[in-house]
Amino acid sequence: MSLVKKIGYSTHGYWMPVSELIEIETERGNEIDEEVFKYPTSMAIWVTKCRAAAVRYNRYCGDDYDIETYPPTQDELDEIKEVDITHAIEIGEVDGDGFLYIEPSEEDLKKIHKER
């Protein structure tokens, strides 16, 4: 059985511990999906599913950012990192183009499986 590789796009390409994600999002005043708390020892990353959409998060343009009005330059597109999300679980979404993925640790998967 072959597995199709799933790719997301990130401004930094850094998978962070879920505990760090919770701390950062709390400091920013953002709500955290309850599902995130099920994975305390896992890794997380915010990605977009389109390289050009990731540029929005690299520029701080606010909510009125329109990719057609302000198309990304090739240099900006080149700065965006590809992230392998094949084995990750999509947990949340923001603004229609930002997606939170968690790559579950074995420890968290065992705990979740045990609870079911």
Residue type, 76: E
Q: Is the pLDDT of residue 12 over 70?
A: yes
What pLDDT digit, counting tens, does each position of 14-71 carry?
Answer: 999 999 999 998 998 888 899 999 999 999 999 999 998 888 777 765 555 566 667 8
Count of CA atoms in the C-beta half-sphere (13 A) of 87 = 8
> What element of type H or E holds 65?
none
Tell me which DSSP letter residue 70 carries: S
| Separation of alpha carbons 56 and 113, rounded Å | 37
What pLDDT digit, counting tens, does each position of 57-96 carry?
Answer: 777 655 555 666 678 889 989 999 999 999 999 998 887 7
Predicted TM-score of the model (pTM): 0.84
| Separation of alpha carbons 20 and 54, rounded Å | 21
Q: Is the pLDDT of residue 7 over 70?
A: yes
Q: Is the pLDDT of residue 103 over 80?
A: yes
